[in-house]
Amino acid sequence: MRLKNTANGLVLMLTFMLPSFCLTGFAGPLQQKMKRCDSGEVRSIKVENELIHTAGTGDAEPGIQVQPRANASASIKVTALGPILGSMDSRVVKTDLRCSDNGIVLKATITRSEHFNGAVLQNQHWRPRIVLTIKPKQQDVTLETIWSMRLTNGKVIDHAQTPPYAERPYPIVVTKGLR
């Protein structure tokens, strides 16, 4: 991880190592500009992939996990958990940060093969995890995560299924207050 000062602001460059079987669609180092909002500042962002070893078990719902802070002035570590995906989905998740009236909005875009026909290779389930470090500037900050999906042909889709999980509507919006 390294910070690079550019004409457009500070850019955090992350490089992460994945086993060779996880490199489908891997595009190299992640570059993400840090975001400063009235309510808080995103100091770091990292996209990870979590392998799901037993399909159909555990919590498959997208969510937001918040680690407790050491003290009131400390940064908050937040993990946005995405939907369960499969081998037909790119492991590169595009992220975009923007400010809202009461916090920060993280938009995560998943890309699925336009040739997907409903079958999935066994033991290929995974979910995206986006880990953020946020420095609040006010007492109540809200993180809104919007998970959208598009096909490799660019078409945005409004519902999708990863067997054996149920079909779900997109976009998926998850909101959580950070204290």
Helix/strand number for the chain, H first, E second:
0, 15
- The confidence score (pLDDT) of residue 165 equals 86
Find out whether 38 and 115 touch, Cβ atoms under 8 Å: no
**End-to-end CA, the chain:** 27
- The confidence score (pLDDT) of residue 57 equals 58
10-residue stretch averages of pLDDT, the chain, 179 residues long: 50 40 37 76 95 71 90 89 93 95 96 77 82 92 96 96 89 93
**Assessment of whether the complete model's pTM goes beyond 0.95:** no
Q: Is the C-alpha dihedral spanning 136, 95, 163, 57 positive or negative?
A: negative
